[in-house]
Amino acid sequence: MKRRQGRTRGPTPEPWLQTLRLDLREFVPGDVEDIVRLDGDPRVMKYIGTGRTHTREESIASFPRALRYPSLYANLGVWRASRRDSGAFVGWFSLKYAGAACDIEIGYRLLPDAWGQGFATEGAAALRDYGFDDVGLERIIGITHPGNRASQRVLAKIGMADEGWGHYYGHRVRLFAIESGVRDDFRPGRVEGAGDRVAKRRS
C-alpha cells in the first residue's frame, strides 16, 4: 500500500494518518511555536542530546529540517501530532533515517501533559505498521538515552527487542529493533491499552 498524502485545506494539511486518539499531519511554517514550546521544556529535553533545552532561536533555525524532510525522503518524515478530541498539540512522531546511519527509526517527542496516557505507544505502533505495510521496510529501530526507561517500555510494547548498545547521533544509546516478520505478534489490537489501536489512514 502506498503512502497517502493528506489533502490541503488552506495553509494546513489534513491528517494523513489517524489513530483512535491522534491526528498526524505534516508540519507547516505556522507550527513553529509548537516546536519552540516543546524543545524549550527541560522535562522534554532531559534525555535528548546533551539534555539541555533549545533556545527559541535554535528551535526556529532547526525547524525547516522537519518541513523539508518529506520532500527529501519519500514516505518518511516528522509529523505533528494532535489530540482528535480537542485538537490540542501533543508533540511529534517520526519515521526517518537515524542520523547518518542507514537504519530507519521511529521517534517521538511529546509534551509532558501527554505523558502517561499511552499516546507514545499509540503513535509509535501506527508508524511501525505504516513502515512495514506501506513503505515496505524489513527492519525498524528505536533508540533511547540509557536512562530513559519510559521510552524503552514504549518500544518494548510495540514489539521491539532490546539489542543492547548502539552508537547514533554521536552518543552511546540503547538500541531496540523489530523485523517485519516478528511484528504480527504485536498488531495494534494486541498492544496494551484499547487506545493503542490504529483507526485508519486518510486518503
CB count within 10 Å of CB 48 equals 18
**Cα 188-67-84 angle, rounded to 5 deg:** 40
In a domain, 2, yes or no: no
Residue 3 located in a structural domain = no
- Tell me, what's the pLDDT at 185? 61
187: confidence class by pLDDT, cuts 50, 70, 90: low
Please write the tens of the pLDDT for every residue from 29-86. 999 999 999 999 999 999 998 899 999 999 999 999 999 999 999 999 999 999 999 9
**What is the reported pLDDT for 196?**
41
In a domain, 71, yes or no: yes
The pLDDT of residue 132 is above 90:
yes
Higher pLDDT, 183 or 60: 60
- Mean pLDDT over the full length of the chain: 88
Classify residue 1: in a domain, yes or no.
no
Segments forming the whole domain that contains residue 73: 8-201
Distance CA 120, CA 107 (A): 9
- Classify residue 172: in a domain, yes or no: yes
